[in-house]
């Protein structure tokens, strides 16, 4: 049975979706934007945005009883592919080997004019 993860330290949902759903030992985190949940602001640089997105995901996973080490799959959405290498350097600081499976793609536009968004799937042991 699916259950909504109460994400207490993440940006509020802005549509008809949940920040995360837990189903059995699986956690599905919706695409997260680089919104600071305390201020509602989006950082300016790609580095700051990438760190904020990962921090938001860490908080959501923590509320579900998981960490980034539980993540098995990620999808990275970038405003432009030339941003990939800079995003990847920060991503590699947060995730450890064995790295999650990942899809990275450029999209025409992200909400709030963000440069990056990320969704993840995690498995609890």
Q: Global pTM?
A: 0.95
In the chain, where the domains are located: 2-123
What pLDDT is recorded for position 100? Answer: 98
Q: Give the separation between CA 51 and CA 38, rounded to whole angstroms.
A: 15
Average pLDDT, the chain: 96
What pLDDT is recorded for position 125? Answer: 87
The closest of 39, 49, 40 to 86, measured between CA atoms, is 49
Are the C-beta atoms of 46 and 106 separated by less than 8 Å?
Answer: no
- The pLDDT tens digits for 63-101 are 999 999 999 999 999 999 999 999 999 999 999 999 999
CATH topology of domain 2-123: 60s Ribosomal Protein L30; Chain: A; (3.30.1330)
pLDDT at 14 over 90: no
Are the C-beta atoms of 123 and 70 separated by less than 8 Å?
Answer: yes
Q: Which two tokens stand for residue 62?
A: 């923590």
Q: Give the separation between CA 37 and CA 82, rounded to whole angstroms.
A: 27
């Amino acid at each position: 049975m699916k259950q909504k993860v109460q994400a207490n330290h993440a940006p509020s949902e802005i549509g008809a979706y949940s920040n995360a759903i837990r189903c059995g030992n699986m956690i599905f985190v919706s695409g997260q934007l680089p919104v600071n949940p305390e201020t509602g602001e989006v950082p300016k640089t790609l580095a700051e945005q990438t760190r904020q997105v990962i921090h938001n995901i860490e908080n959501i996973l923590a509320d579900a009883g998981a960490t980034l080490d539980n993540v098995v799959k990620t999808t990275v959405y970038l405003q432009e592919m030339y941003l990939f290498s800079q995003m990847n350097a920060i991503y590699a600081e947060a995730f450890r080997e064995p790295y999650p499976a990942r899809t990275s793609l450029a999209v025409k536009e992200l909400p709030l004019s963000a440069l990056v968004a990320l969704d993840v799937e995690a498995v609890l042991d």
